[in-house]
């Protein structure tokens, strides 16, 4: 008998509807047992406890599945199958009775349907006796494993001791995982942890200099490869909130796998824990408000974004598989065979390292990157993170990725960087505009820039750049916008004048009014204020998407001219060097992802 997964019960009320649905009279005991009255129903028509049938049949050999329950009392167990746009289908019903908790009650499912039939199976258990108790449930199979799996779990951290210790302890204390072969490599980029922080032989602490997320993950991967003991690897962020069942599911999927595939974990919103933030992502594509996807270079699009997982109809939607271009490193699993054939990540410090690595994984595995529903972690959503300095890495590394993996045209890159830079100048956001100019300049320097620049020194410079203009301040958002707030659009003439003068930055001082203007930059374009409403004003108060702060930006003519000067110089330089720089990045890709390069790159520099 092989364990496939557990029937998961909620750890708190905030996430309960992602695990089970109960009658109001059902009582949850301290030991997480469920105490039921007659006719109470436990429904597993939920995100974590559904069986996403087509994913199992497409990627694994699993067809025969059965549940084993510890129940006390008399119950009816019913299995349903659902598909998007179809009625609920009853596939099995059985009455069971048990008066001894040392025994398991078994419920065998019909054989799973083969892909591509996008369907979802779930159970409902009705208490028929006067009282009943649900203790636990397991999903098992009689089918033998196709392989043994040993997993190296790699997480890197920078001064987030409490987060990483909590995550590691949860994994090492999971009783069911004790039977699995795994080891956790904690790469400490901040050197603030010590060996005594982890009292488990399955945890190895690796001190590392601050070479960013890409350097931390790669250092852990190198350490794991050198032990030559692991069939698979899992990259996992340090600041996630995790239900360790997802680790167990990774083992089961690989143990019964039909083929080699990478597992892309989904991100659940840490602040709105019932919301699916993304289930994988697309590269060089754009999705409009209606969800229509079109090709667009230098663009990233999340898949299955902003879905309320409490809505059961949404569960049928996510049961259908979509092509995934890459999985973010907050939870991304892959085989040793992949690494042996494609090499290591690129030395990007942060941002786009997962995109670039994922594109190589996808090519090698012939599209087999799988966003398996129910394999997910809670993570700080991107809208809540705004360090400022990360714009530099996003823009520079996007250019590098596109140079290596596509035919990045000069006109496309110039338009993208210029649009972003000028847009931030319109918002008087000089720090970010300067980072855009710096990103283009360093991209044009070619691979030698990364090879010869100490990443710690560079990061210090970038952090300084992101704060160099003191005309920008940040204040907490204390009051939410009125629901009746009316967005402002401007006339054609004002728009032209605003764009020509960069919202008045190029006008003489007497033409600027000593006034402030509020701009709401909503995530939906149809709900955004026009940035041109700031024309001729001295200050902008900016609410940017869902970030819970207000940005106070003041017009600075001197900064505008300095940034424009740097940008124009880069444009002139790039017009002569473009094709040569693209070739340099393409030719150097193999070297930059090699073991030889990385071992030298990770060494301390003097």
Average pLDDT value for residue range 331-336: 98
pLDDT at 606: 60
413-447 pLDDT, tens per residue? 999 999 999 999 999 999 999 999 999 999 999 99
Residues 403 and 452 occupy one common structural domain: yes
Q: Do the Cβ atoms of 298 and 413 come closer than 8 Å?
A: yes
Pick from 52, 40, 51, 49: nearest CA to 16 = 49
In 3-state terms, what secondary structure has residue 227? helix
Range 498-502 average pLDDT: 94
State how far the Cα of 140 lies from the Cα of 138, in Å rounded to an integer.
Answer: 6
Residue 506: C-alpha distances to residues 176, 427, 502, 568, 587 (Å): 66, 14, 7, 16, 42
How confident is the model at residue 30, as a pLDDT?
A: 64
pLDDT of 29 higher than 70: no
Burial-class residue 92 by CB neighbours within 10 Å (0-12, 13-18, 19+). Answer: middle
Residue 220's pLDDT is 98
**pLDDT-derived band at 462, boundaries 50, 70, 90:** very high
Is residue 113 situated within a structural domain?
Answer: yes
Once rounded to an integer, what is the mean pLDDT over residues 208-224?
A: 97
Residues 333 and 445 grouped into a single domain: no
Kindly state the helix (H) or strand (E) to which residue 547 belongs, with its residue range: none
SS3 518: strand
Q: How many CB atoms lie within 10 A of CB 553?
A: 24
Burial group, residue 296, by CB count within 10 angstroms (0-12, 13-18, 19+)? middle
Same domain, 179 and 291: yes
Q: Are residues 179 and 302 in the same domain?
A: yes
Q: For residues 576 and 234, what is the distance between their CA atoms, to the nearest angstrom?
A: 42
What pLDDT, on a 0 to 100 scale, did the predictor assign at position 295? Answer: 85
In a domain, 498, yes or no: yes
The answer to whether the CB of 252 falls within 8 A of the CB of 172 is no
Q: What is the C-alpha separation between 438 and 221, in angstroms, rounded?
A: 30
> Is the pLDDT reported for residue 289 higher than 70?
no
Q: Flag whether pLDDT at 26 surpasses 80.
A: no
Of residues 501 and 472, more confidently modeled: 501
**Which pTM does this prediction carry?**
0.95
pLDDT confidence of residue 15:
93
Checking if the pLDDT of 160 tops 90, the result is: no
Q: Of 402, 410, 429, 423, nearest to 550 (Cα)?
A: 429
Looking at residue 351, what is its pLDDT?
95
Q: How many domains does the chain have?
A: 3
pLDDT at 524: 77
H helices present in 24-177, as ranges: 53-59, 161-172
Distance from C-alpha of 245 to C-alpha of 345, rounded to nearest angstrom: 27
* Same domain as 275, residue 401: no
DSSP one-letter string for 193-224: --GGG---TTEEEEE----HHHHHHHHHHHHH
Mean pLDDT within 549-561:
93
Report residue 383 as tokens.
Answer: 């809208």
Position 38 scores a pLDDT of 94
pLDDT in tens, 68-85: 999 999 999 999 999 988
Same domain, 517 and 551: yes
Query: What mean pLDDT comes out for the span 321-325?
Result: 94
- The proportion of the chain whose per-residue pLDDT surpasses 70, expressed as a percent, equals 97
117, 141, 165 — which closes off a domain? 141
Q: DSSP secondary structure string, 553-594?
A: EE--HHHHHHHHHHHHHHHHHHHHHHHHHHHHHHHHHHHHTS
Q: How many helices, marked H, and strands, marked E, lie in the chain?
A: 15, 28
Confidence of residue 315 (pLDDT cuts 50, 70, 90): very high
Q: Provide, for the chain, the percentages of residues in helix, strand and coil under a 3-state DSSP scheme, each rounded to the nearest 5.
A: 35, 30, 35
Q: Does pLDDT of 63 surpass 70?
A: yes
Average pLDDT, the chain: 93
Determine the Cα–Cα distance for residues 334 and 359; give it in Å rounded to an integer. Answer: 13
If asked whether residues 101 and 240 sit together in one domain, one would say: no
C-alpha distances in angstroms, 29 versus 33, 36, 399? 5, 11, 54
Residue pLDDT, tens place only, 33-62: 899 999 999 999 999 999 999 999 999 999
Residues whose CB is less than 8 angstroms from the CB of residue 94 and which lie 6 or more positions away in sequence, other chains included = 76, 77, 107
Task: Give the pair of three-digit tokens for residue 597.
Answer: 């390069």
Q: Is residue 165 part of a domain?
A: yes
- pLDDT at site 510: 92
352 with 360: CB under 8 angstroms?
no
Q: Which pLDDT does position 117 carry in this prediction?
A: 76
Same domain, 399 and 451: yes
Q: Is 288 exposed, middle or buried (0-12, 13-18, 19+ CB in 10 A)?
A: exposed
Residues in the chain: 606
Domain shared by 183 and 297, yes or no: yes
Tell me, what's the pLDDT at 290? Answer: 67
Domain end, chosen from 141, 173, 197, is at: 141
Q: Quick check: is 443 in a domain?
A: yes
Q: Is residue 540 part of a domain?
A: yes
Q: Is residue 573 assigned to a domain?
A: no
Q: Which residues contact 270 (CB under 8 A, 6 or more apart)?
A: 241, 378, 379, 380, 381, 384
- Evaluate whether 299 touches 398 at the Cβ level (below 8 Å): no
Look at residues 366, 384, 402 and tell me which one is the last residue of a structural domain. Answer: 384
Q: Which tokens belong to 434?
A: 């300067």
Q: How far is CA 552 from the centre of its chain?
A: 29
Same domain, 493 and 359: no
Q: What was the pLDDT predicted at 478? A: 77
Instruction: State whether 265 and 365 are in the same domain.
Output: yes
564 within a domain of the structure (yes/no): no
**Tens digits of residue pLDDT in 562-598:** 999 999 999 998 888 999 999 999 999 999 999 999 9
pLDDT value at residue 470: 84
pLDDT in tens, 373-409: 999 999 987 766 666 899 999 999 999 999 999 878 8
In a domain, 129, yes or no: yes
- Quote the domain boundaries for residue 177: 150-384
Q: How far is CA 306 from the centre of its chain?
A: 13
Q: Report the CATH number at residue 63.
A: 2.60.120.260
CA-derived radius of gyration, the chain: 27
CATH number of the domain to which 296 belongs: 3.90.550.60
Residues 497 and 538 grouped into a single domain: yes
Mean pLDDT of 127-154: 96
């Amino acid at each position: 008998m092989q364990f496939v997964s557990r029937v998961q019960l909620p750890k708190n009320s905030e996430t309960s509807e992602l695990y089970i649905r109960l009658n109001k009279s059902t009582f949850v005991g301290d030991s997480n047992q469920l105490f039921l009255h007659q006719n109470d129903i436990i429904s597993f028509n939920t995100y974590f406890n559904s069986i996403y049938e087509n994913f199992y049949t497409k990627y694994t050999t699993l067809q025969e599945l059965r549940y084993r329950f510890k129940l006390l009392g008399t119950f009816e167990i019913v299995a349903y199958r659902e598909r998007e746009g179809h009625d609920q289908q009853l596939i099995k019903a059985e009455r069971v009775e048990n008066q001894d908790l040392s025994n398991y009650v078994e419920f065998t499912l019909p054989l799973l349907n083969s892909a591509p039939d996008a369907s979802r199976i779930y159970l409902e258990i009705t208490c028929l006796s006067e009282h009943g108790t649900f203790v636990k449930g397991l999903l098992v199979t009689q089918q033998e494993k196709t392989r043994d799996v040993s997993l190296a779990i790699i997480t890197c951290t920078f001064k987030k001791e409490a987060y990483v210790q909590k995550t590691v302890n949860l994994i090492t204390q999971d009783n069911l995982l004790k039977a699995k072969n795994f080891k956790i490599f904690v790469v400490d980029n901040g050197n603030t942890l010590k060996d005594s922080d982890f009292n488990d032989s399955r945890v190895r602490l690796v001190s590392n200099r601050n070479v960013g997320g890409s350097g931390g993950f790669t250092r852990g991967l190198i350490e794991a490869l050198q032990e030559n003991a692991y069939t698979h690897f899992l990259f996992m962020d340090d600041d996630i909130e995790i239900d360790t069942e997802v680790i167990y599911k990774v083992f089961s999927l690989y143990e019964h796998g039909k083929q080699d595939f990478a597992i892309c974990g989904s991100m659940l919103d840490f602040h709105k824990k019932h919301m699916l933030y993304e289930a994988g992502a697309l590269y060089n594509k754009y999705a409009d408000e209606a969800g229509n996807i079109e090709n667009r270079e230098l663009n990233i699009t999340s898949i299955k974004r902003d879905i309320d997982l409490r809505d059961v109809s949404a569960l049928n939607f996510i049961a259908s598989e979509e092509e995934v271009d890459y999985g973010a490193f907050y939870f991304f699993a892959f085989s040793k065979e992949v690494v042996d054939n494609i090499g290591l990540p690129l030395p990007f410090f942060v941002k786009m390292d997962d995109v670039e690595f994922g594109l190589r994984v996808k090519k090698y595995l012939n599209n087999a990157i799988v966003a398996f529903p129910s394999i997910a972690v809670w993570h700080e959503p991107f809208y809540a993170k705004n360090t400022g300095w990360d714009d530099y890495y996003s823009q520079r590394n996007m250019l590098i990725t596109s140079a290596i993996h596509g035919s990045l045209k000069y006109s496309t890159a110039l338009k993208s960087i210029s649009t972003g830079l000028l847009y931030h100048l319109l918002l008087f956001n000089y720090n970010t505009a300067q980072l855009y100019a710096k990103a283009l300049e360093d991209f044009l320097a070619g691979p030698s820039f990364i090879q010869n620049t100490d990443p710690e020194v560079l990061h210090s410079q970038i952090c300084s750049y992101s704060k160099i203009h003191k005309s920008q301040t940040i204040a907490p958002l204390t009051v939410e916008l009125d629901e009746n707030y009316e967005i402002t659009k401007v006339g054609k003439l004002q728009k032209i004048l605003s764009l020509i003068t960069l919202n008045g930055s190029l006008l003489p001082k007497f033409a600027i009014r000593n006034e402030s203007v509020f701009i709401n930059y909503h995530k939906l374009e149809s709900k955004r204020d026009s940035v041109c409403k700031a024309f001729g004003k001295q200050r902008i108060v900016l609410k940017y998407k869902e970030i819970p702060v207000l940005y106070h930006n003041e017009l600075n003519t001197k900064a505008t001219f300095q940034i424009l000067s740097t940008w124009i110089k880069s444009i002139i330089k790039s017009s002569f060097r473009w094709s040569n720089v693209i070739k340099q990045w393409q030719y150097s890709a193999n070297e930059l992802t090699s073991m030889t390069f990385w071992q030298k790159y990770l060494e301390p520099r003097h």
